[in-house]
Amino acid sequence: MAEPLLTGAGPTEAEGPANTETLPIRLEDWWDEPDPPPAAGESPRSDLDALQGVWASVSGRRRTVLLVSGDRFTVYFLNGDLYMGALELDPVARPKTMDMRIDEGPSQHKGLTTLCIYELKGDLLRWCTAGPGRKERLSSFPAEEGARHLGMIFRRESPF
């Protein structure tokens, strides 16, 4: 016979036998521990989670589609250029930063890293870079589009 799951006085003969198959030994066995709250200044949903999906440019000098899946990206410029690689975010930096390592793409950019800044607000992504292989990162979003950087605004087309 199985041991009773509850301690203390058992049922009286008039009450009948205890149901030992459904009651846990400890009350804690009835629930899962909640996830810890986010750290100070951290949003409940990470930026990497929020970036997952398909994004289409709505502003900027080049029409572009961006796909983010896990920590991988694909950028397709509608002129035919295709870039693929890995990205790394620093959502604590101000402005927030994104490093995009180009694993596949045009030969002159393959193996280079693009140092970007970004801002994410719901289904809009503001993104800007000085270009692949450049050693400097922009410290703020430029007021105007220029030849020295590539800035775009993307709208989410399809989340994952």
Determine the CATH number of domain 47-159.
2.40.128
Residue 26 in tokens: 């400890």
pLDDT number for residue 26: 59
| Residue 5's pLDDT band (cuts 50, 70, 90) | very low
22-69 tens-digit pLDDT: 555 655 555 555 445 556 655 556 999 999 999 999 999 889 999 999
- Residue 4 in contact with residue 10, Cβ under 8 Å? yes
Please state whether beta strands 72-77 and 82-90 pair in parallel, antiparallel, or not at all (unpaired).
antiparallel
130-153 residue pLDDT tens: 999 999 999 999 887 666 889 999
Given the structure tokens 């870079």, which residue do they identify? Answer: 129
pLDDT in tens, 70-116: 999 999 999 899 999 999 999 999 999 999 999 999 999 999 999 99
- DSSP type of residue 49: H
Q: Is residue 6 over pLDDT 50?
A: no
Half-sphere exposure of 35 (CA within 13 A, CB side): 5
Give me the sign of the Cα torsion angle 8, 11, 17, 23.
Answer: negative
pTM assigned to the model: 0.69
**Segment holding 47, helix H or strand E:** helix 47-51
